[in-house]
Amino acid sequence: MNTQVSLSGLVLDNPVIPASGTFGYGYEFAELYDINILGSFSFKGTTRDPRFGNPTPRIAECESGMINSVGLQNPGIDKVIAEELPRLRACFHKPVIANISGFSVDEYKYCCERIDREEQVGLIEVNVSCPNVHGGGMSFGTSPEMAAEVTRAVKSVTTKPVYIKLSPNVTDITAIAKACEEAGADGISLINTLMGMRIDIKRKKPVIANKMGGFSGPAIFPVALRCVYQVYEAVNIPIIGMGGVASAEDVIEMMLAGATAVQVGAANLVDPFASKKIIEDLPRVMAACGIENLTDCIGGAHHG
């Protein structure tokens, strides 16, 4: 059975990619298993300057999911290039996906230009959809015009494929996806987290210090699937689907909706072996569904 897929010329052994923010810079998981089994992975969202992130508590559990408000904690682009990527190179021998965030168009442009020079980076994922920061992130992803402006700026300084990561917290995600495509995006990643919150009924206060955060986990899978399905019909560029993916069956379902590759997020925080188990189970599910080549099922639900 053939599990290979291709993202804008980047060939992956399989479509399973741990999502940004749930896999660090990879080497922590490399202590548990050989992470080269992965198609690739998207490393922690990186900004120009170091960020401590949001105040604690940052995590709230809920039925079939979790809410987080980490706030893009990262050491900054210079340290990622100087320290994190060399450590990663020792344990991961495939091209990695660089997840870049920013608070201005110039910051996105600066970080993408820097990371584009790194040989280890096979694809750049530009996050215009983080719900956990003020004055940046999702503010760029809720407007077609702003998302297109970021896309154009980043594409002007990069040579590698650029995928724009979109938020579901909008009225019409297809309009934003189309604007990114017209501005030169090579692909679309979706969805980032939904907005959610929990309240401590004894303290009568929100559980998370930031009050609200990104809701992820199995509960959001149907929403993610719907968004991927809609965007597949609206654009002609590849899609990386994500949102509540927790099994090999979910991967196939997401690909039938239109995804070329699939990211696994919250499941990695519940079980650090989640992505490995999904990859190992893919051939069984493919056989059960009569799938010989995974690429044959991309968008299959649109042709039935």
Q: What is the pLDDT of residue 304?
A: 64
* β pairing state of 162-165 and 121-127: parallel
Domain limits at 101?
Answer: 5-302
pTM, two decimal places:
0.95
Tokens 């999702």 identify what position? 138
Q: How far apart are the C-alpha atoms of 264 and 266, rounded to whole Å?
A: 7
**How many domains does the chain contain in total?**
1
Length of the chain, in residues: 304
Q: Which listed residue (130, 180, 227, 297) is catalytic?
A: 130
The radius of gyration computed from the CA coordinates of the chain, to the nearest angstrom, equals 18
Beta strands in 228-284 (DSSP E): 239-242, 261-264
Phi then psi for 142, rounded to 5 degrees? -100, 0
Q: What is the pLDDT of residue 227?
A: 98
Q: What is the pLDDT of residue 139?
A: 66
Q: What is the pLDDT of residue 133?
A: 47
pLDDT average per 10 residues of sequence, the chain (304 residues): 97 98 94 98 95 90 92 93 96 97 92 98 91 54 90 97 94 96 98 94 96 95 98 98 98 98 96 98 97 97 85
Tokens of 221: 């899978």
**Neighbour order of strands in the sheet with 187-190:** 16-18, 261-264, 239-242, 187-190, 162-165, 121-127, 96-100
* 297 is known as an active-site residue: no
Classify 301 as helix, strand or coil: helix
- Residue 186's alpha-carbon distances to 45, 95, 165, 237, 257, in angstroms, are 19, 17, 11, 6, 19
Domain at 165, CATH number: 3.20.20.70
